[in-house]
Structure formats: C-alpha cells, structure tokens
Amino acid sequence: MRGLLLPLLLVLLAGCGVADPLAPAPAPSPSSAAVPLPGARSGPLPGAETPTTAAPAGPAPVVVLDPGHNGGNAAAADEIGREVPDGRGGTKPCNTTGTETADGYAEHAFAFDVAARVTRLLTARGVEVRSTRDDDDGVGPCVDRRAAVANDARAALSVSIHADSGPSGGRGFHVALSDPPLSASQRAPSAALADALVAGLEAQGFTPSTYRGEDGLDPRPDLAGLNHARVPAALVECANMADPGEARVVEDPAGRQRYAEAIAAGVLRTLGR
Ligand code: ZN
C-alpha cells in the first residue's frame, strides 16, 4: 500500500499554490494606478528657475498665443494676399506683413519674441501654451486659421500679440475685441480677458492709447481672427512702433520682457491662477 500512496499524495500537492496560466490576471488596485510612471516629473525640471508661486494643482489649462504676422510674409505677397472669410460674411487678406520701427525692427519679430517670453512665464505657472506659429521666418498662417488653432484646441483663451503703426505723436497700448460680438465667448468672457490685459499692462507702467479706443479698450468689427474666435479672445497692440520713445522700449529686450509680464499677468488673472 505504501508504494501507491506516495505518488498520489504528490499529485494532490501539485495542485496547491500554483498559478493557473489561463486564469485572468488580478485587476490593478486604484492606488497602484495612481503611482507615477518611472521618469515622470511632478515638480520643476532640475536647474529650472523656481517659480515664486507654486503652480496650482489640477489639469493644465490650454492657452493659445498668436504672434502677429510672420517673417516670410513680405516675400509671399500672393500667398498672404489671397482673400479668406472675415467672420462677418465678407473677406480679408490671409495675412499682412505688419509694421516696423524707424530702425527697421519688425513687428513680426517683436510679437514672436514677446510670445516666447509669455510662454516661459505661463509654462512656469502650470499653463499649457500653444502658438499659432512655431518660427519667425515662415508665411502666415491666415487669420482664420489662427483662430481655428484656438477653437480646435478648445483653449481656455487666446491672445494675439501685435504692435501698431499709429499716427505721429500717438502713444500707448490698446486691446481689441470683437464688437458686435458673434458668439457667447465674444461677450463677457472676452471682455473680462481684455480688462485683465489692460490691468496687466497698466501694472507694468504702460499707458492706454492716446489715439485709439477708450481706456485701453478698442471694440471693433474688422479683425477676422477675433471674429472667428469661439473661445475668449483679445488682441493686444502693445505700442505705437512709429513713436520714437515707444520704439526704444519695443527694441529693448527688457522692454519686451515687461510686455510679456503684463500679458502673462492678464492671462493668469483671467484663468484665476
Ligand atoms: Zn500687427
């Protein structure tokens, strides 16, 4: 009998404690799903400047920055001259070359540099920033396409950055918004954004335009990018590049940093961050 019992006992034991390869794997517990992936970062990058205020928790809002014009526009007259829908039933040229200071410092370069500075400031505060153009030597995009970038991203808001070619002796910034409004986002939300941008610019020592708009605000129907916007949107004309005093500020990196700080402050105020 003993010779028969031992093999039987070994067969029974073999069924204990051995995983069945066909059985379903245990579901991950909620706590294990929240463990960050290897290499994931929750804080600033090593060596990055420590923000003075910590970025609020929660999903990053998306902000679209739209630096006006582009460095290749002047050499692409046909392409930027073609008509696109203006958002009010008419048409407008796809894009324009923009203006420049008497020294030849171009508006497209100013807008691109300020947008890069705003991007750094907002990113440090936990905002996801997207741009309507990635370089300063391309063509366009057309104004309707610029608006579509923000609309398609369902952005929290969009800010177009420009500098003006105003009358001799005229000075100061103005913030344009679509008027009469064509959507709910063009009403109170865009007005709140424009007000916050005015406040940010004034806090940096800039003064409202002496030649356009009222108290720094310029509601207008003819800016296609704003007409097409379906997210809160405003366009900042930072300065009159034709004014020698303002041209000096625009041409100075420290001046451009002040414009960037002003715009970033307006954006953060609007986002409640
Ligand atoms: Zn412009």
**Letter for the amino acid at 261?**
E
How far does residue 235's CA lie from ligand 1's centre (Å)? 9
Burial 123-154 (b: 16+ CB within 10 A, else e): bbbbbebbbbbeebeebbbbbbbbbbbbbeee
Question: How many A from CA of 105 to the centre of ligand 1?
Answer: 13
Instruction: State in Å: Cα 99 to ligand 1 middle.
Output: 7
Enzyme catalytic residues: 237
pTM of the model: 0.80
The 10s digit of each residue's pLDDT in 135-145 is: 999 999 999 99
| Residue that wins the pLDDT comparison between 97 and 168 | 97
Q: Write out pLDDT tens, residues 189-233.
A: 999 999 999 999 999 999 999 999 999 999 999 999 999 999 999
Q: How many residues does the chain have?
A: 273
Distances (CA, A) of 71 to 68, 74, 139: 10, 7, 7
Which tens digit of pLDDT belongs to each residue from 84-135? 999 999 999 999 999 999 999 999 999 999 999 999 999 999 999 999 999 9
| 71-95: pLDDT as tens digits | 999 999 999 999 999 999 999 999 9
Within a 13 Å sphere around the CA of 118, how many CA atoms are in the beta-carbon half? 31
Q: CA–CA separation, 202 vs 266, rounded Å?
A: 10
Cα 273 to ligand 1 centroid, rounded to whole Å: 28
What's 56's DSSP letter?
A: P
- Which domains does the chain possess? 59-271 (3.40.630.40)
For residue 240, what pLDDT is reported? 98
